[in-house]
Structure 1
Amino acid sequence: MRYAQLRAFHHVALAGGFSRAAELLKQTQPSVSDQVRRLEEAHDVLLFDRSGRRVRMTEAGEGLFNLTKSFFEVEEGIAAYLDRNRAAVTGRLRIVADSAVHVTGAIGRFRVAYPKVAISLWSGNTEDVLSRLRSYDAEVGVVGNTGHAPDLDQMDLGLSPIVAIAAHGLIPGEPKTIAFQDIVRWPLVIREPGSRTRARLEAAAAEAGVTLSPVIEVEGREAMREIVASGAGLGFVSEAELGHDPRLRKIAIIGGELMMAETVVSLRARRDVPVIRAFWGALT
């Protein structure tokens, strides 16, 4: 196995094709194809399915790509370390968040301090966030109630209560509060498995001996809000993420110890990646 072969494979996987990889590497397409073919032959493994119009990674290719992502990031980190005293922070910062509201200030400060860094912001539940971080598909995540995770660096952003939300007129009298055990009197609109809001609700229900039977299970916070705004039932969200929507009413929940902690996380193994280190600096 040669470095050039791994590098060719990595760029084909990264670019999604041999032609684009050749452009990135400033090589000819036959040269890149030959390097990948030699890697496959040397280890008797098929890394790409070339049968269709597009090149697709095989299962073995996807496994190797997960390794080469970290391998070549270490190489970039070495170069960045050696150049740290003379080079500005550049590159890209990928943030995946269960709610971006908690880090908008830090993103603004980071953008001012490091204008040469391209920022991407995606949404996802906690499972999505942690999966992307651990597969090196994001640098920073924002999640709720992660618990102890030895592979992560974490910074708590504070606590926020979970509140119920409902369309106007769903509950007669439009009360401002509702007892936790009474939420089951109304149709429930619950987030998908992997949502920390859902996990906290289910944990509180188990402690209180309450059975939650959602009429609708929906993926994503915004989709949940739209379903609730239609009058379909009660939804649940962290108060910090409530925002302003004139279609919805906030109802405080009494009992149940329903609190959400929002936390910024990144992989401990990647703490010396320049853009990650710089973003942590923007948080404080």
Structure 2
Amino acid sequence: MDWASLSAFVAVADRGGFSAAAEQLHLTQPAVSKRIAQLEQDLDVRLFDRLGRQVVLTEAGRLLLPRARQMLAEADAARRALQDLGHDIGGRLSLATSHHIGLHRLPALLRRFTALHPRVALDIRFMDSEQAYAQVLGGDAELAVTTLGPTEPPLVATPVWDDPLRFVVAPDHPLARMAKVTLADIAAHPAVLPDPGTFTHRIIAQTFARRGLSLQLRLTTNYMETIKMLVSVGLAWSALPQTMLDTQVQVLPVQGAQLSRQLGYVVHGGRTLSRAAQAFVALLRGDS
């Protein structure tokens, strides 16, 4: 069993076919087929069932897939560590983050990191926080800087910033004219929020549910800047991070309801961070 065969196996499983895997790996289809056949021979099991042009994982293939991902991630970490040994910090750092954090929290930190470590090649991927968790779990990203949600081993989450949320409306919204606003008042109007599966949506929805209130969703989108625009033109209310507040929206004086979320970084507790990732984490934590 070798790394090339494992890489081919994961590519075929992810892409659902030999041709697509060959395109991803920049190989010919026969070369991918040969690597899979060699892996099946080495392990003495069949990893895929061939159904015409489609391939599906066998029971043995499903068992191997997460282990193969972990082995490839460990091999990549080992290569990075050896490349960095005895030199200035270099190599590649794969970082998953949300658009909101990328716009409002990371610019100064990224500027400082690139100045301190110019040899590091940053691979920054913007996505929802829940997807960033999955990227770290699967070994596709070494580090995620994201909204923190429920975290289970082997993932480890470390808070860095408290991120208060404020209920907001357009300055000419009916709620904006009220001196005191309750959650029941807000629930009587349509909302625009992140998608229901997101950590932020759950925080907001649970706040209302604890009072026996349900939300009227006009629409959902995971782009906070889009949510702010829709609020500013009067289509709905929302809850925005304090870092986004300006004269385009008006904060509601809500009685007895505090919303907050935590932002931070997520790593895989079973993997050794590269020196580049360690340096980035040190900046996040304010250690350097």
For normalisation by structure 1, the TM-score amounts to: 0.77
The corresponding residue for 1:44 is 46
The corresponding residue for 2:127 is 123
The corresponding residue for 1:164 is 167
The corresponding residue for 1:89 is 90
Per-residue Cα deviation, 1:46-101 (whole angstroms, up to 9, x for no partner): 278883xxxx7744578755433321221233334445432432123222226322
Instruction: Select between 173-182 and 225-234 the one with higher mean Cα deviation.
Output: 173-182
Distance 2:32 2:161 in 1: 50
1:144 is aligned to 2:178 = no
Structure 1 contact 143–263 (Cα < 8 Å) conserved = yes
Matches within 5 A, 1:7-156: 7-10=7-10, 16-18=20-22, 21=25, 30-40=30-40, 42-46=44-48, 51=53, 58-59=56-57, 64=64, 66-87=66-87, 88-97=89-98, 99-100=100-101, 101-116=104-119, 117-124=121-128, 126-147=129-150, 149-156=152-159
The corresponding residue for 2:241 is 238
Structure 1 contact 192–220 (Cα < 8 Å) conserved = no
The corresponding residue for 1:192 is 195
Structure 1 contact 200–258 (Cα < 8 Å) conserved = yes
Instruction: Select between 9-18 and 254-263 the one with higher mean Cα deviation.
Output: 9-18
Structure 2 contact 157–264 (Cα < 8 Å) conserved = yes
Structure 2 contact 182–254 (Cα < 8 Å) conserved = yes
Q: Which amino acid aligns with 2:192?
A: V
Q: Structure 2: give runs of 5+ residues left out of the alignment.
A: none
* Distance change (3 Å), C-alpha of 1:98 and 1:146: farther
Q: Which amino acid aligns with 1:109?
A: R
Moved over 6 A (4+): 11-15, 47-50
Matches within 5 A, 1:199-278: 199-240=202-243, 242=244, 244=246, 247-278=248-279
Q: Structure 1: give runs of 5+ residues left out of the alignment.
A: none
Distance 2:267 2:168 in 1: 31
RMSD, aligned CA: 3.4
Structure 1 contact 96–138 (Cα < 8 Å) conserved = no
Q: State the secondary structure of the residue aligned to 1:95.
A: strand
For normalisation by structure 2, the TM-score amounts to: 0.76
Corresponding residue pairs, total: 273
Structure 2 contact 142–273 (Cα < 8 Å) conserved = no
* Distance change (3 Å), C-alpha of 1:86 and 1:133: same
